[in-house]
């Protein structure tokens, strides 16, 4: 199925960023992650391909700062998609390689012309220790 | 469906002895079916089309791909605009900053133009192009956003005889890590896929494109790849660079015609295609 032009442009941008970036469509399907995100997720995108919502949310274990498992509907990217609001949190992700990584996550929704929901984008940063 | 090119030049009108065959007028294409008259873009070519419509009354659908001046400059010189027996429906890409009327009025108002849009004299109805296909008479029109600076759409027009895809200003290679990308990730592919005729931006040579990335246009090689991937019946080159004279354009078109797998026609002013 043809992707909206906005998702195509974000994918092209993400493919050139060194910031780990995930892109989902409006259904929550993980349609792309860039090369920088591959070590965090434990698999190359070319190998993993697009993943339906249930597939990728069950493939990656996500924990909050207190170590509690985050339910799929509370994953930052999903919250951003559904609430149409940006989210910034610290989480721990256990990728497909089984390695846990503490990350800071910024997720924001993509809204196009005519208030059309298109998907969401997530940027990851290696988590910095809190100052003070 | 009958298609006639009234203006094929890109960026700025370029009349002169070196551009006689491909033409100097900017983008305008007439599409006629059994029941509708659609005009694609209102570049300077629309003036001569208007002169041919002196006996025409009824509805005309003018479909603008975007509002850059080379696609709009002829509108104030389109004679049917001034006639009360013509109902002019103008379609254009949606924008979050201003509605279509406000954006058109930036040109069609003093000091850039002496007559305001609302004072043209004819009946004008404005429409944002919806994302979903819509019907006009006996044709189905699909307008989709495509890669070009500012809100821009391409069109696909389909009737019982076939389909025309019109993407005059388009840079599908912009930012793509490889080109062409898979079809689902290629701007404009859905509009062009399997079309009988594709009118597509072919503004630059490959060398020229290298210094004009992000300007919103394609090289002839990118255009050929786009058309081949879309498996169109015929590629018609369009939006010729104003610096390219007839001989250069003949040469560029000939380069594409030598390749296998695609019928290529140089988009010349006055070219007529029947589906």
B152/B196 Cα distance (integer angstroms): 22
Across the interface, of A1, A9, A13, the residue whose CB is closest to B184 is A1
Asked if A101 and A40 count as a contact pair (C-beta separation under 8 A), the reply is yes
Q: What is the percentage of chain A residues whose pLDDT exceeds 90?
A: 62
> Using one digit for the tens of pLDDT, what is the confidence trace for A12-59?
999 999 999 999 999 999 999 999 999 888 889 999 899 999 988 888
User: How does pLDDT run across B6-21, given as a tens digit for each residue?
Assistant: 999 999 999 999 999 9
Cβ–Cβ < 8 Å for B149, B187: no
CA–CA min distance B82, chain A (Å): 32
A-chain residues within 8 Å CB-CB of B184?
Answer: 1-3
Task: Name the token pair of B110.
Answer: 């003093």
Neighbouring C-beta atoms of residue A52, cutoff 10 Å: 12
pLDDT (tens digit per residue) in B47-93: 999 999 999 999 999 999 999 999 999 999 999 999 999 999 999 99
**Interface mutation vs chain A, best among B178, B187, B226, most A CBs within 10 Å:** B187
CA-atom Rg of chain B in angstroms: 18
How many Cβ pairs closer than 8 A exist between chain A and B? 42
Q: Is the pLDDT of residue B127 over 60?
A: yes
Best of B185, B186, B213, B216 to disrupt the A interface (most A CBs within 10 Å) is B185
Angstrom CA distances, A93 to A17, A21, B59, stand at: 21, 14, 59
CA distance B18 to A27: 53
Q: Which positions in chain A touch B177 (Cβ < 8 Å)?
A: 12, 15-16
Percent of chain A surpassing pLDDT 70: 96
Contact A113 B144 (CB under 8 A): no
Q: Which phi and psi (to 5°) does residue B165 adopt?
A: -110, 135
B178: nearest CA in chain A?
A12
Closest to B205 (Cα-Cα) out of B262, B256, B153, B263 = B256
3-state helix, strand, coil in chain B (%, to 5): 25, 30, 50
Q: What pTM, to 2 d.p., does this model score?
A: 0.92
User: Which chain A residue is nearest to residue B95, measuring alpha carbons?
Assistant: A113
Reported as a single tens digit per residue, the pLDDT across A82-130 is 899 999 999 998 887 788 889 999 999 999 888 889 999 999 998 765 5
The answer to whether B147 faces chain A, any CB pair under 8 Å, is: yes
Pick the CATH number of B2-274 from 3.60.15.10, 3.40.190.10, 3.90.1420.10, 3.30.470.20: 3.60.15.10
Give chain B's mean pLDDT.
96
* pLDDT value for A132: 43
Report which of residues A94 and B216 the model is more confident about: B216
């Amino acid at each position: 199925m043809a992707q909206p032009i906005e998702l195509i442009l974000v994918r092209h941008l993400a493919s050139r960023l060194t910031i780990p970036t995930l892109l989902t469509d409006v259904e929550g399907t993980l349609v792309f992650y860039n090369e920088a995100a591959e070590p965090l997720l434990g698999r190359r995108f070319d190998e993993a391909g697009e993943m339906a919502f249930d597939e990728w949310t069950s493939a990656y274990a996500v924990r909050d700062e207190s170590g509690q498992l985050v339910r799929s509907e509370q994953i930052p990217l999903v919250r951003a998609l559904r609430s149409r609001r940006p989210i910034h949190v610290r989480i721990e992700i256990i990728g497909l390689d089984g390695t846990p990584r503490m990350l800071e996550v910024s997720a924001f929704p993509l809204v196009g012309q005519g208030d059309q929901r298109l998907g969401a984008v997530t940027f990851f940063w290696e988590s910095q220790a809190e100052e003070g | 469906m009958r298609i006639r090119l009234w203006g094929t030049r890109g960026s700025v009108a370029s009349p002169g002895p070196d551009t006689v065959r491909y033409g100097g007028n900017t983008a305008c294409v007439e599409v006629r079916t059994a029941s509708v008259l659609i005009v694609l873009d209102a570049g300077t070519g629309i003036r001569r089309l208007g002169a041919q419509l002196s006996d025409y009354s009824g509805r005309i659908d003018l479909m603008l791909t975007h509002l850059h001046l080379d696609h709009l400059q002829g509108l104030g010189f389109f004679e049917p605009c001034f006639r009360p027996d013509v109902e002019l429906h103008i379609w254009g890409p949606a924008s979050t900053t201003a509605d279509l009327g406000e954006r058109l009025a930036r040109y069609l108002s003093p000091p850039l133009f002496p007559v305001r849009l609302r004072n043209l004299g004819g009946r004008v109805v404005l429409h944002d192009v919806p994302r979903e296909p819509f019907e006009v008479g006996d044709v189905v029109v699909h307008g989709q956003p495509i890669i070009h600076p500012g809100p821009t759409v391409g069109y696909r027009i389909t009737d019982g005889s076939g389909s025309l895809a019109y993407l005059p200003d388009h840079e599908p290679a912009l930012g793509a890590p490889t080109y062409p990308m898979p079809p689902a990730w290629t701007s404009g592919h859905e509009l062009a896929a399997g079309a009988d005729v594709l009118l597509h931006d072919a503004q630059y040579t490959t060398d020229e494109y290298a210094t004009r990335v992000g300007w919103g246009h394609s090289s002839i090689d990118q255009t050929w790849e786009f058309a081949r991937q879309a498996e169109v019946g015929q590629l018609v080159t369009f939006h010729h660079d104003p610096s390219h004279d007839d001989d250069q354009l003949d040469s560029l078109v000939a380069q594409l015609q030598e390749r296998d797998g695609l019928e290529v026609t140089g988009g010349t002013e006055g070219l007529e295609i029947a589906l």
